[in-house]
């Protein structure tokens, strides 16, 4: 699932959705506050589902896009925090990009984990790294809109394997 809150970063969210779907991976966009969500640059998106309609047990992972105030709105959602804690306990994929890794820290899922975040926000993380994409077990984090393709491909590799990720890289000319 990829939850969308008002003010989400369009490149980060839509790149991930597009690449995962091209790879044959089912992903639902989930509206945190409703089914029509506006990104930080005015792009309006109709989500597949609303957060109150989903059963988190039906998902293999969660991907949080950044964007301001999108990441703040994700962090204010008790349902998102609850899902993050549940997925962490169950060993499911948890991914976040840009400022959204701070939501992972808020939920307590980054304790003892390496992660990256938007440059300048490193103090928000317990063990920050400067790489564009950081994978630590079942947690994948990335820095910004410019790293969205690498981030999406890392998620494809995690969920569908190296061969599928390589195929996607070739298809997308990455």
Alpha-carbon distances, residue 12 vs 7, 28, 58, 59 (angstroms): 12, 15, 23, 20
Closest CA to 58 of 97, 30, 81: 30
DSSP 128: B
**DSSP strands (E only) in the chain:** 2-4, 29-31, 36-38, 44-46, 49-50, 61-64, 93-97, 133-136, 139-142
What is this structure's pTM?
Answer: 0.97
In the block, residue with structure tokens 């994700």? 74
- Give the start-to-end residue ranges of the domains of the chain: 2-168
How many angstroms separate the CA atoms of 11 and 121, rounded? 19
Does residue 8 contact residue 143 with C-beta atoms inside 8 Å? Answer: no
Alpha-carbon distances, residue 22 vs 10, 94, 111 (angstroms): 18, 20, 33
Q: Show pLDDT as tens, one digit a residue, over the chain (174 residues).
A: 999 999 999 999 999 999 999 999 999 999 999 999 999 999 999 999 999 999 999 999 999 999 999 999 999 999 999 999 999 999 999 999 999 999 999 999 999 999 999 999 999 999 999 999 999 999 999 999 999 999 999 999 999 999 999 999 999 999
2-168 topology per CATH: Rossmann fold (3.40.50)
Which residues are known to be catalytic? 98
């Amino acid at each position: 699932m990829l939850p969308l809150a008002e003010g989400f970063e369009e490149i980060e969210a839509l790149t991930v959705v597009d690449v995962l779907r091209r790879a044959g991976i089912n992903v639902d966009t989930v509206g945190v506050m409703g089914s029509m969500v506006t990104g930080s640059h005015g792009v309006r998106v109709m989500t597949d589902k609303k957060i109150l309609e989903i059963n988190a047990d039906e998902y293999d992972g969660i991907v949080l896009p950044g964007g301001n105030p999108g990441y703040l709105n994700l962090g204010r959602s008790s349902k998102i925090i609850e899902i993050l804690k549940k997925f962490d306990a169950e060993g499911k994929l948890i991914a976040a990009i840009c400022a959204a890794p701070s939501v992972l820290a808020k939920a307590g899922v980054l304790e003892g984990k390496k992660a990256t975040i938007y440059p300048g926000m490193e103090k928000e993380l317990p063990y920050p790294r400067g790489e564009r994409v950081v994978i630590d077990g079942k947690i994948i984090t990335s820095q910004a809109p410019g790293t969205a393709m690498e981030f999406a491909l890392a998620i494809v590799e995690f969920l569908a394997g190296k061969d599928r990720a390589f195929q996607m890289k070739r298809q997308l000319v990455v």
